[in-house]
Structure 1
Amino acid sequence: MAPTLFDHGAKPGDLIEIFRGTYQHWAVYIGGNEVVHLIPQSDDSSPLGSLLMLLDSRRARVMRQKIWEVVGGHRFEINNLLDDKYEPRDRHVIVREACRMVSSELPYNAVTHNSEHFVNEIRYGQSESRQVNRAAVIGGAALAGVGIVALGAALLATLLKDDDDDDEKRHRK
């Protein structure tokens, strides 16, 4: 069941994953229905602008906002995704670190330092993005698939050329 306005179930220090169509945005829940998150800076407020902002922005600001301002109409869930891999810091340390970062301006890169890297660094002390890792695996598989298709096309072309050469030799005789 999806979280609701009154019963999201988050505890201070939990990570909030927000599903925004083509990507996920991440925040750290700090209590009092507030989150801290890393948001790329842009002057464009259009939907296309927000996607371009993710890809083109080099700077981001750490903001503290009400969870519902950040989530908007999107689906979200509590996702402490790396608890099986890393030991989370104590909740009060996570909240203190997140609050200490508010208003900071940080480098931003969709691949190497996005909102998921930011929240994982605060919760676990490790900067990691499974979203980026999945994209890399999918991209690698797609590239391998293109390579296989190209190899198959080259083999087929060679076979067809050999057949044409055989036909031409038979007609000369």
Structure 2
Amino acid sequence: MKMPLKGVEPKPGDLIEISRFGYRHWALYVGYGYVIHLAPPSEFTKTGFFSLMSVVADKAVVRKEPLWAVVKGDDYRVNNKHDGKLPRRSVDQIIQEAESLVGKTMPYSVTSENCEHFVTKLRYGVARSDQVRDAMVAGAVGIMGVGALVAVATFIGALLSDNKQEDE
């Protein structure tokens, strides 16, 4: 089965970034075509309603599955994005810890304990999620933009009101 891989072939310990509609799912490549990932309800199926379920889920299961089954035809790539910034644990440590978690139910939060936090903790010993940070920055910029529009509209409204009163 041909999958849309972007870039290099994965090696054990590599982080796999999977492009889903509206978000990125993350998995850890463990070799022989398998990945380990934190699977909230949205990852058990690929329908719009269940994708929204990960926002409210508070538990997820650590699963070991074939890469092709997790990718589900979506684009994916190796993305060890913190290499060079964070020290990487040994491949043996990464795989051993990941394998020890398979089948366990873990706490899940889209903002603080998601699949990206899970795999970065395994690879680097530090849980990070850039998509959460990026979403928070985008949200803050959006709020500031709306605030600026309201301020401009209020200012223009006040000017027009003053001009109308002067004309009367």
TM range (shorter): over 0.9
What are the within-5 Å matches in structure 2 for residues 83-102 of structure 1? 83-102=83-102
- Corresponding residue number in structure 1 for 2:110: 110
State the alpha-carbon separation in 2 of the partners of residues 92 and 145 from structure 1: 47
The secondary structure found in structure 2 opposite 1:85 is coil
The runs of 4+ residues in structure 1 deviating greater than 3 Å are: none
- 1:84 Cα offset (Å): 3.0
Tell me what 1:126 maps to. 126
Q: Give the Cα–Cα distance (whole angstroms) in 1 for the partners of residues 46 and 94 of structure 2.
A: 33
> Which residue of the partner structure matches residue 49 of structure 2?
49
CA–CA distance in structure 1, aligned partners of residues 53 and 40 of structure 2: 7
Q: CA RMSD in A?
A: 1.9
The answer to whether the 8 A contact 2:41-2:50 is kept is no
Shift of 1:40: 0.8
What is the match of residue 3 of structure 1? 5
Distance 2:95 2:109 in 1: 24
With structure 1 as the length reference, what TM-score do the two structures score? Answer: 0.89
The 1-side partners of 2:57 and 2:8 are apart by 31
Structure 2 residue runs of 5 or longer lacking an equivalent are: none
CA drift at 1:8: 5.9
How many residue pairs end up in the alignment?
Answer: 165
- How much does 1:130 deviate? 0.3
Q: Which residue of 2 aligns with 1:79?
A: 79
* 3-state SS in 2 of match to 1:55: helix
Secondary structure of 2:17's match? strand
* Deviation string, structure 1 residues 28-63 (Cα, Å, up to 9, x no partner): 000111100000137x84612321221111100000
Unaligned runs of 5+ in 1: 169-173
The answer for the alignment partner of 1:167 in structure 2 is: 167
Q: Give me the whole-angstrom Cα distance separating, in 2, the residues matched to 1:33 and 1:86.
A: 26
Which is greater in Rg?
1
Aligned residue for 2:38?
A: 38
